[in-house]
Amino acid sequence: MWFFIFAVIMIFAGLTSGYVVSQGGAFWVNIKMPDAFKISTIAIIISSICLFVAQRSIKQGKQPLVKASLGLAFVFGLTFGIYQFIGWGKLYEGGNAVSSSIMNTQGMYGKYFSLSYQGKEITYNNAVFTYKGAEISEELMAEMKAFSTDLYDGSKTDDKVYSLQDYGSKFSLYHRGKLMTFVNGKFMTDGLLLAETQHRRLERFAENIVNDRGDFIMKGKYREDFVIYYGGDALEYSNRKFYRNGAEISALLLDKLMNQGNTASSYIYAFSGVHFLHWIGGIIALLVMFIKGLQLRYSESDYLGITIGSVYWHFLGILWLYLYTFLIFIH
């Protein structure tokens, strides 16, 4: 068991070292950890406490307490795994995939496409859509998403035919600042039908509006839900521009940012995913211990199974606390 634990420590030492090294000379996203990870952390701590109680109780011959403690250790251990899944779901919903970009280059609002409503431009800045100088209402946002859903559906058809109601009377689409015409279900710009590349960009554009994304793949507001770092410095983001130490970043760095993947997100899935694989072994051990406890297979003179299982489970708990703390305070 101790040799195995040492091997696992080396695996995670390599992963966390790789995380630190990968930050050098690259843009890095500091992602707010989902609250589900907090709950899973509390669950694995309680589970370990229950195992401590079980170990002490079996030495004292308190079989009823042993059964209850092992049962609770299993339940809270299972809770840990469930909330890990929930946490992964929240990360993914927030735009943090296993492999993704940082910047939303294809669907960035205003880069290729933008919208107007009743002849007035809809603008976007810092995760907020504005209309006539004010943040758009929930009703207008709902209409905008419905229109974007129709755009997305049309972009996915083989012949690129869009089914849009009242185009121009409410919403109009612009390509690089020029009003696009809509004839017989097809978009045209400068008298020409859209090329395949433009349809793909329009697909991403529409998808991102529906999913509340603008400049970034990650959802949410900059500084509140995530921050981008470069060379250890947190970047400021204002009026769709990035600043480092008070100065706007160079065009070269901006181009690098536009083409860089969200490596931090990949590492988070790697950390928690590899830990989850070891959790599977641990939860099986907890179940076996619980069943044997119910069968009175442990006694004051024979509790080696509880000892070995507890060592492994306590190690998993300490390892998760290390990973979770590392991800929160690495920056």
Q: What is the pLDDT of residues 283-320, one digit of tens each?
A: 999 999 999 999 999 999 999 999 999 999 999 999 99
pLDDT band of residue 214 (cuts 50, 70, 90) is: confident
Q: How far apart are CA 330 and CA 35, in angstroms?
A: 18
Q: How far apart are CA 230 and CA 253, in angstroms?
A: 10
β-pair type (192-193, 27-31): unpaired
The predicted model gives 152-161 an average pLDDT of: 92
The predicted model gives 224-235 an average pLDDT of: 90
Whole-structure pTM value:
0.82
Residue 331 has a pLDDT of 62
The predicted model gives 138-156 an average pLDDT of: 94
Q: What is the CATH number of domain 2-7+22-100+262-329?
A: 1.20.120.80
Give me the residue spans of the domains in the chain.
2-7+22-100+262-329, 104-215
Handedness of CA 213, 184, 196, 181 (dihedral sign): negative
Following CA atoms 194, 196, 197, 199 in sequence, which dihedral angle do they give, to the nearest 10 degrees?
60
List C-alpha distances in Å: 300 to 286, 296, 303, 313: 19, 11, 7, 21
pLDDT in tens, 69-111: 999 999 999 999 999 999 999 999 888 988 889 998 888 999 8
Average pLDDT along the chain: 92
pLDDT band of residue 330 (cuts 50, 70, 90) is: confident
